[in-house]
């Protein structure tokens, strides 16, 4: 049976009606209308549906929407502020880290969660930090460059 | 004033901002009011007669609006190389994953429940899963009507063979007679999946003119439109196809796939219908790259001169032919690799089996034959006691040589890619000097670029901007950004003045599409013609405005001026306004190309291959460490040198190389679909692993820029070539590291362990 819940997404409260078995990715995409979060496998293997939940990355295809009431959810739509790209978004653009773009929102959020707790990751830590996010286009080289550059941009207080 | 060039720079991707902010819309993101969810019932039998399909229980379920089977479809055979398929199985199923029926319902759950209520009564038929078994006289025949099938060429067909083709160059009998050393062997390339992160999806409804409209992520907008209309028996004017951003393609989103089914559900239910595949369905029924078995025999003189090569390819089609057939023709076209071997024979059999309906992927037959040929050269080098690099250098094609298809070759830059890769990788210093269990391997490759037709329209806008109308879709490669750079350069305008018009089969001009590394080359050439068309008109307009002869007008850098009075200038934007309001009429440029008209004569038997627009070459050098205990391989360094003609977009071309190399690394070492009895048993990213950020070596990209004849601003195509040599380069590095010559890719743990520990052999 559908029930009303309040989801805090990108610092806004949304009142949504969900089925108890609905997963967060579907609710974000088609009930809230935030289609920036992608669905690539539905089984937690590809990371396209990555969102940040209370500071940690999760595969939103494995999370029941009813279970995250009262938690803070950050999606890709929450990063750009007042028309200014988040430094991670800017770094992905500047370093050619985007090709088809389907994995990009998840990778940008995985990067944010990593840099939030580890502002100066070594390359190995970057690789581990994004290893749950599959990208079939880039071969990761430019993504890793972008993550390094984003760390430097954030250091310089770009935002 | 000199303008900065629009080429050879990292021009910002036109889709960059929308992709990093999550604003870019893919088909999976779309929905329509009243939309239903479509699900397809796939065959779970590899070969069976369909006795009866009972859909009554599904039809009567609340929330179900349409159930369709072959009886609801026009009975029209379609297909690209060979028209051998229907929308739904009729009479019998030929592989697991063949569509049998489909349902449109108010929710995905209802649709799934309805699928379960469809009763299919089968009578199993003897099935065959090995193409060599399928060639035997007593094999079950999968397509009894094969000889009547029509195709793009009158292929030689019989039994389970839907193409028997041969190409000859010189005289291989004489060639092998002259050889001092001969090596022969059989190589096998496993089936792999394109694995775009975006699953296939499409959405169909009737538009406000009651025309069938289909939104779909396709690499080939025009061909999707054409094939969809043809399969439905509708004129192209009654069907409209609209693409969105593609979340990857790699050969997995060619022309049409399930658009026909989606459209039929929309017709029957009179509601919008969306089909989105699950990841499991992606693996099982979306035309993964088919496997090939390649027998190859090469003869050489003692001094290393290659004198003869024979290649025999057996390509498994699965239940239907499609692009697996095209990949077989490519494997024999590139039989001689990058080497001027005077005597070559290539023979290909495209064979139906009851395996999944295979398709193609990046590298299209070229990767397969390159793995076989380049791996074998290292065996030959060892036999001849010649360094593998020197053996290669001795035999390279050069300008003026005749390719196996009789085409005279030009812009042959393989010598340059080899020298650059050898030098940058430090091959000469490292070869034979590396620590135990470390190895270094080299592989060369050739691929065609420039293929079939492109047309574009350039629409000049009164604000001085230009809209590019094209059917070329961007799978992620950045080709639309590169095409905008070419428009800007051709018209002498800044890059930010160029935009791509909304794409729609109603208005976007004909294009063969984003396949075969062709769009920068072919659509780029069409753009140059369209720009010249516009410039001619601008000169006329300027002559009228200046009240002078056209000969006295020069157009450059976005403005026209009088030769005799250079201070008299009209800008591009002013001239476009002149056209609108003073004379001439709105300014439109048109460009159309056909890259490669067919050969005028037969080039073999049962076979047709167009000449290439041009060829592109590459040399890769891989370094590996092999764990002798386990057979696990770590690629430690990688150098990729490519003959690109001219770099259009720096970030874009580097991204193509890095992505292609890593896809090749995945295939070289672990990617493989496993399908005992025709059933894919690893249809997910846990059991079918693609490379992650933990698996990638440092890659050095090298671009040889020697302007290509016939290429736009000298550019060659560059999306597929990086996935052609990696399997051979890595295989040769493994051979160098541990002496194991594994003839099947992927060279996974089990295969390499068995090669290192003979006696345990199970493969």
B1: pLDDT strictly greater than 70: no
Distance (Å, rounded) from C-alpha A28 to C-alpha B104? Answer: 24
**What's the rounded mean pLDDT across residues B216-228?**
96
**What's the rounded mean pLDDT across residues B669-680?**
98
Reading phi first (left if > 0) and then psi (alpha if -120 to 50, else beta), residue B54 is in beta
For B721-733, what is each residue's pLDDT tens digit? 999 999 999 999 9
Distance (Å, rounded) from C-alpha A147 to C-alpha A153? Answer: 10
Closest Cβ opposite residue A101 in set B15, B199, B250: B15
Share of chain A above pLDDT 70, in %: 99
Which residue in chain A has the smallest CA separation from B31?
A30
Strand ranges (E), B170-264:
181-189, 201-206, 212-216, 239-242
Q: Does A46 contact chain B (CB < 8 Å)? A: yes
Distance of CA B581 to the CA centre of its chain: 45
CA distance A148 to chain B (A): 14
How far apart, in Å, are the Cα atoms of A153 and each of A86, A124, B318?
Answer: 10, 20, 51
Q: Does B152 contact chain A (CB < 8 Å)? A: no
Stated as kind and residue range, the H or E segment containing B114 is helix B108-116
Distance of CA B202 to the CA centre of its chain: 20
- Answer whether A141 sits within 8 Å of B696, measured CB to CB: yes
Q: To probe the interface with A, which of B9, B18, B20, B692 has the most A CB atoms within 10 Å?
A: B20
**What's the rounded mean pLDDT across residues B53-60?**
98
For B523-543, what is each residue's pLDDT tens digit? 999 999 999 999 999 999 999
**In this predicted structure, what is the pLDDT of residue B760?**
64
Quick one: DSSP state of residue B17? H
**What's the rounded mean pLDDT across residues B388-407?**
96
Quick one: DSSP state of residue A28? I
**What's the rounded mean pLDDT across residues B78-106?**
96
B98: pLDDT strictly greater than 60: yes
For B542-599, what is each residue's pLDDT tens digit? 999 999 999 999 999 999 999 999 999 999 999 999 999 998 899 999 999 999 888 7
**In this predicted structure, what is the pLDDT of residue B454?**
98
Helix (H/G/I), strand (E/B), else coil: B559 = strand
- Answer whether A79 sits within 8 Å of B21, measured CB to CB: yes
For B457-490, what is each residue's pLDDT tens digit? 999 999 999 999 999 999 999 999 999 999 999 9
**In this predicted structure, what is the pLDDT of residue B598?**
84
Contact B52, B290 (CB under 8 A): no
**What's the rounded mean pLDDT across residues B308-314?**
98
Which has the closest alpha carbon to B463: B494, B513, B431, B497?
Answer: B497
Which residue in chain A has the smallest CA separation from B277?
A41
**In this predicted structure, what is the pLDDT of residue B107?**
96
For B277-305, what is each residue's pLDDT tens digit? 999 999 999 999 999 999 999 999 999 99
Q: Does B520 contact chain A (CB < 8 Å)? A: no
Across the A:B interface, residue pairs with CB atoms under 8 Å apart total: 168
**In this predicted structure, what is the pLDDT of residue B448?**
95
- Answer whether B655 sits within 8 Å of A137, measured CB to CB: yes
Q: Does A23 contact chain B (CB < 8 Å)? A: no
Residue whose token pair is 């770094």:
A91
B2: pLDDT strictly greater than 80: no
**In this predicted structure, what is the pLDDT of residue B520?**
98
Quick one: DSSP state of residue B673? -
Distance (Å, rounded) from C-alpha B746 to C-alpha B734? Answer: 12
Q: Does A73 contact chain B (CB < 8 Å)? A: no
**In this predicted structure, what is the pLDDT of residue B607?**
80
Written as six digits, the tokens of B525 are: 């050439």
Burial B200-226 (b: 16+ CB within 10 A, else e): bbbbbbbeeeeebbbbbbbbbbbbbbb
CA distance A153 to chain B (A): 16
CB atoms inside a 10 Å sphere around CB B548: 16
**Chain B neighbors of A77, CB-CB under 8 A:** 21-22
- Answer whether A141 sits within 8 Å of B652, measured CB to CB: no
**Chain B neighbors of A137, CB-CB under 8 A:** 248, 476-477, 655, 659
Closest Cβ opposite residue A93 in set B20, B28, B196: B20
Q: Does A50 contact chain B (CB < 8 Å)? A: no
**What's the rounded mean pLDDT across residues B173-188?**
98
For A61-71, what is each residue's pLDDT tens digit? 999 999 999 99
Distance (Å, rounded) from C-alpha B367 to C-alpha B723? Answer: 7
Which residues of chain B from 234 to 263 reach within 8 Å of chain A, CB to CB? 245-250
Closest Cβ opposite residue B26 in set A80, A102, A134: A102
Q: What is the β-pairing status of strands B569-571 and B559-562?
A: antiparallel
Q: Does B17 contact chain A (CB < 8 Å)? A: yes
Which residues of chain B from 635 to 664 reach within 8 Å of chain A, CB to CB? 651-652, 654-655, 658-663
Helix (H/G/I), strand (E/B), else coil: B613 = coil
Contact A126, A132 (CB under 8 A): no
Strands laid side by side in the B559-562 sheet: B553-556, B559-562, B569-571
Distance (Å, rounded) from C-alpha B273 to C-alpha B103? Answer: 10
CA distance A63 to chain B (A): 18
CB atoms inside a 10 Å sphere around CB B326: 22
Written as six digits, the tokens of A155 are: 């250091």
Half-sphere exposure of B196 (CA within 13 A, CB side): 36
**In this predicted structure, what is the pLDDT of residue B761?**
52
**What's the rounded mean pLDDT across residues B599-607?**
78
**Chain A neighbors of B24, CB-CB under 8 A:** 101
Share of chain B above pLDDT 90, in %: 94
Which residues of chain B from 26 to 45 reach within 8 Å of chain A, CB to CB? 26, 28-29, 31
Exposed, middle or buried, B130 (CB in 10 Å: 0-12/13-18/19+)? middle
**What's the rounded mean pLDDT across residues B648-668?**
98
For residue B566, what are the contacts with CB-CB under 8 A and spacing of at least 6? Answer: none
Q: Does A137 contact chain B (CB < 8 Å)? A: yes
For B154-171, what is each residue's pLDDT tens digit? 999 999 999 999 999 999
Distance (Å, rounded) from C-alpha B267 to C-alpha B211? Answer: 10
CA geometry: angle B579, B582, B583, nearest 5 deg? 60
| Average pLDDT across chain B, whole number | 96
Stated as kind and residue range, the H or E segment containing B621 is strand B614-626
How far apart, in Å, are the Cα atoms of B463 and each of A135, B497, B580?
Answer: 39, 9, 12
Which residue in chain B has the smallest CA separation from A130?
B693
Quick one: DSSP state of residue B511? B
Helix (H/G/I), strand (E/B), else coil: B397 = coil
**In this predicted structure, what is the pLDDT of residue B758?**
86
Distance (Å, rounded) from C-alpha B337 to C-alpha B335? Answer: 6
Written as six digits, the tokens of B497 are: 């003045």
Stated as kind and residue range, the H or E segment containing B467 is strand B466-469
B605: pLDDT strictly greater than 90: no
CA distance A69 to chain B (A): 23
Q: To probe the interface with B, which of A23, A99, A110, A126 has the most B CB atoms within 10 Å?
A: A99
Q: Does B304 contact chain A (CB < 8 Å)? A: no
Which residue in chain A has the smallest CA separation from B19?
A101
How far apart, in Å, are the Cα atoms of B459 and each of B231, B454, B503?
Answer: 33, 17, 14
**Chain A neighbors of B651, CB-CB under 8 A:** 95-96, 142
CB atoms inside a 10 Å sphere around CB B489: 23
CA geometry: angle B422, B418, B327, nearest 5 deg? 125
Answer positive or negative: Cα dihedral of B26, B29, B33, B35.
positive
CB atoms inside a 10 Å sphere around CB B277: 20
Helix (H/G/I), strand (E/B), else coil: B109 = helix
Q: Does B107 contact chain A (CB < 8 Å)? A: no
Written as six digits, the tokens of B718 are: 């560059």
Closest Cβ opposite residue A43 in set B31, B279, B696: B279
Exposed, middle or buried, B467 (CB in 10 Å: 0-12/13-18/19+)? middle
**Chain A neighbors of B247, CB-CB under 8 A:** 38, 40, 100-102
- Answer whether A38 sits within 8 Å of B28, measured CB to CB: yes
A159: pLDDT strictly greater than 70: no
Written as six digits, the tokens of B211 are: 């025309």
Which residue in chain B has the smallest CA separation from A85?
B21
Quick one: DSSP state of residue B522? I
Distance (Å, rounded) from C-alpha B236 to C-alpha B226? Answer: 6
Which has the closest alpha carbon to B32: B207, B210, B258?
Answer: B207
- Answer whether A139 sits within 8 Å of B26, measured CB to CB: no
Q: To probe the interface with B, which of A136, A145, A148, A149 has the most B CB atoms within 10 Å?
A: A136
**In this predicted structure, what is the pLDDT of residue B597?**
85
Residue whose token pair is 């579907």:
A26
């Amino acid at each position: 049976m559908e029930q009303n819940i309040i989801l805090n997404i990108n610092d806004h409260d949304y009142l949504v009606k969900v089925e108890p078995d609905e997963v967060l990715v579907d609710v974000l995409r088609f009930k809230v209308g935030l289609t920036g979060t992608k669905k690539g496998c539905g089984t937690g293997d590809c990371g396209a549906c990555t969102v940040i939940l209370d500071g940690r990355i999760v595969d939103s295809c494995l999370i029941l929407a009813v279970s995250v009431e009262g938690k803070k959810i950050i999606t890709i739509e929450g990063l750009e502020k007042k028309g200014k790209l988040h430094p991670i978004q800017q770094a992905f653009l500047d370093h050619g880290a985007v090709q088809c773009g389907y994995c990009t929102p998840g990778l940008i959020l995985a990067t944010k969660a990593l840099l939030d707790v580890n502002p100066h990751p070594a390359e190995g830590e970057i690789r581990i930090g994004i290893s749950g996010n599959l990208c079939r286009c880039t071969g990761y080289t430019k993504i890793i460059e972008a993550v390094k550059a984003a760390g430097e941009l954030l250091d310089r207080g770009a935002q | 004033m000199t303008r900065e060039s629009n080429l050879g720079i990292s021009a910002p991707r036109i889709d960059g901002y929308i992709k990093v902010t999550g604003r870019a819309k893919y088909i999976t993101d779309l929905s329509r009011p009243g939309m239903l969810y479509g699900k397809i019932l796939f065959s779970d039998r590899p070969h069976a007669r369909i006795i009866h399909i009972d859909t009554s229980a599904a039809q009567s379920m609340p929330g179900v609006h349409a159930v369709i089977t072959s009886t609801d479809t026009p009975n029209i055979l379609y297909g690209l190389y060979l028209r051998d398929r229907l929308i739904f199985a009729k009479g019998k199923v030929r592989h697991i994953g063949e569509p049998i029926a489909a349902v449109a319902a108010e929710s995905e759950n209802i649709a799934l429940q309805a699928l379960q209520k469809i009763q299919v009564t089968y009578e199993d038929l003897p099935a065959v899963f090995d193409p060599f078994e399928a060639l035997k006289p007593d094999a079950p025949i999968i397509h009894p009507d094969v000889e009547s099938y029509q195709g793009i060429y009158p292929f030689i067909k019989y039994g389970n063979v839907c193409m028997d083709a041969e190409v000859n160059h010189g005289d291989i009998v004489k060639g092998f007679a002259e050889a001092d050393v001969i090596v022969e062997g059989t190589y096998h390339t496993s089936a792999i999946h394109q694995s775009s992160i975006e699953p296939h999806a499409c959405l169909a409804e009737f538009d406000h003119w009651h025309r069938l409209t289909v939104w779909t992520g396709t690499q080939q907008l025009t061909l999707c439109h054409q094939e969809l209309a043809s399969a439905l028996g509708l004129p192209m004017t009654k069907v409209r196809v609209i693409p969105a951003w593609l979340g990857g393609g790699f050969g997995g989103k060619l022309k049409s796939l399930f658009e026909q089914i989606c459209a039929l559900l929309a017709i029957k239910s009179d509601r919008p219908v969306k089909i989105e595949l699950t990841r499991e369905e992606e693996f099982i029924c979306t035309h993964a790259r088919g496997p090939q078995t390649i027998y190859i025999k090469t003869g050489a003189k003692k001094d290393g001169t290659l004198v003869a090569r024979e290649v025999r390819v057996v390509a498994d089609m699965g239940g239907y032919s499609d692009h697996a057939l095209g990949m077989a023709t490519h494997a024999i076209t590139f039989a001689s690799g990058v080497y001027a071997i005077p005597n070559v024979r290539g023979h290909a059999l495209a064979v139906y089996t009851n395996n999944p309906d295979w398709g193609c992927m990046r590298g299209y037959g070229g990767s397969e034959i390159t793995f076989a040929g380049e791996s074998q050269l290292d065996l030959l080098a060892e036999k001849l006691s010649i360094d593998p690099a020197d053996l290669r250098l001795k035999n390279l094609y050069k300008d003026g040589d005749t390719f196996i298809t009789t085409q005279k070759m030009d812009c042959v830059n393989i010598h340059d890619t080899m020298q650059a890769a050898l030098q940058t990788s430090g091959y000469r210093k490292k070869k034979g000097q590396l620590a135990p269990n470390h190895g270094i391997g080299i592989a060369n490759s050739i691929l065609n670029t420039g293929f079939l037709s492109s047309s574009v329209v350039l629409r000049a806008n009164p604000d001085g901007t230009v809209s590019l109308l094209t059917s070329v879709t961007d799978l992620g490669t950045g080709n639309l950004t590169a095409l905008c750079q070419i428009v800007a350069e051709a018209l002498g305008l800044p890059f930010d003045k160029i935009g791509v018009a909304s794409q729609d089969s109603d208005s976007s001009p004909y294009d063969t599409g984003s396949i075969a590394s062709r769009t920068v080359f072919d659509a780029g050439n069409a753009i140059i013609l369209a720009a010249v068309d516009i410039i001619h008109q601008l000169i006329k307009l300027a002559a009228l405005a200046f009240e002078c002869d056209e000969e006295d007008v020069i157009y450059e850098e976005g403005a026209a001026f009088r030769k005799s009075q250079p201070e008299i200038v009209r800008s591009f934007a002013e001239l476009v306004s002149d056209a609108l309001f003073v004379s001439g009429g709105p300014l439109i440029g048109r460009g159309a190309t056909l890259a490669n008209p067919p050969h005028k004569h037969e080039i073999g038997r049962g076979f047709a291959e167009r000449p290439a627009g041009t060829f592109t070459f590459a040399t890769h050098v891989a370094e590996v460490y092999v764990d002798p205990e386990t057979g696990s391989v770590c690629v430690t360094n990688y150098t990729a040198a490519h003959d690109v003609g001219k770099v259009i977009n720096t970030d874009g071309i580097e991204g193509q190389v890095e992505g292609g190399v890593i896809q090749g690394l995945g295939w070289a070492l672990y990617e493989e679909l496993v399908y005992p009895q025709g059933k894919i048993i690893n249809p997910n990213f846990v059991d079918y692993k693609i490379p992650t950020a933990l698996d990638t070596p440092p890659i050095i990209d090298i671009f040889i820029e020697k302007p290509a004849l016939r290429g736009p601003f000298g550019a060659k195509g560059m999306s597929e070539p990086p996935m052609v040599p990696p399997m051979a380069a890595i295989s040769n590095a493994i051979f160098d590291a541990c002496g194991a010559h594994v003839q099947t890719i992927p060279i996974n743990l089990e295969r390499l362990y068995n090669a290192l520990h003979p006696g345990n052999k199970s493969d």
